[in-house]
Amino acid sequence: MASFTVSNHSLPSFRMLNTQTLNYPSSQILPTPSNSHFFGLKLSNSSTFSIPSTPVSFSQKPSIFAKVSKGSKPPPFTLKDQDGKTVSLTNFKGKPVVVYFYPADDSPSCTKQACAFRDSYEKFKKAGAEVIGISGDGSSSHKAFAKKHRLPFTLLSDEGDKVRKEWGVPSDLFGALPGRETYVLDKNGVVQLVYNNQFQPEKHIDETLKLLQSL
């Protein structure tokens, strides 16, 4: 069995300093539930995963900082939507755009966030804004997700996370979980809000509408 040891302690434990170091004496196989979700992280259908036998170190420093910041113009993109149609950021020039990156279709938190955008969609339309959701899922997954939850806005497929990386969207859980970040662009394509909150997905809608109503 894998254990954590600290001097003068016999119970399993671990140290938290500037760097966390976890030592495992031997390779272990732990069971995981099939098709599991954790805050948007889809676990594979495989029933096991391995803990390495060599020490693993995690730095407590932030993983990355967003490249796209308030006052900047983000890199352009062209991606496929849930219907397989090509959509470019430049298509929305002249109107406010809400671009939100989320971890995965149909995970509990991502579903909650998407449905919150759906329920407030008329308010976004009244503000003259377009809503675009982006994740690494394919177009067919987006199509099923949008149909299941009656989502009226565009979902784009960023397979390979190319756009996510270009925009510098931070990851969570030491890089294991794709970040949940929302950007509001004004009609000139300039970023007016960057909001990151992985575990309170509905807050993205509140903060976004607040900003749009002030433009």
Q: Could you give the 3-state DSSP secondary structure of residue 189?
A: coil
Choose, from 110, 146, 163, 194, the residue flagged as catalytic.
Answer: 110
181, 40 Cβ separation under 8 angstroms? no
The distance of Cα 153 from the centroid of its chain, to the nearest Å, equals: 17
Q: Where are the beta strands (DSSP E) in 26-150?
A: 28-31, 37-38, 41-42, 48-51, 56-59, 78-81, 86-88, 97-101, 130-135
Q: Sign of the CA dihedral 65, 69, 75, 76?
A: positive
Residue type, 202: E
Is 115 a known active-site residue?
A: no
Task: Cite the active site residues.
Answer: 110
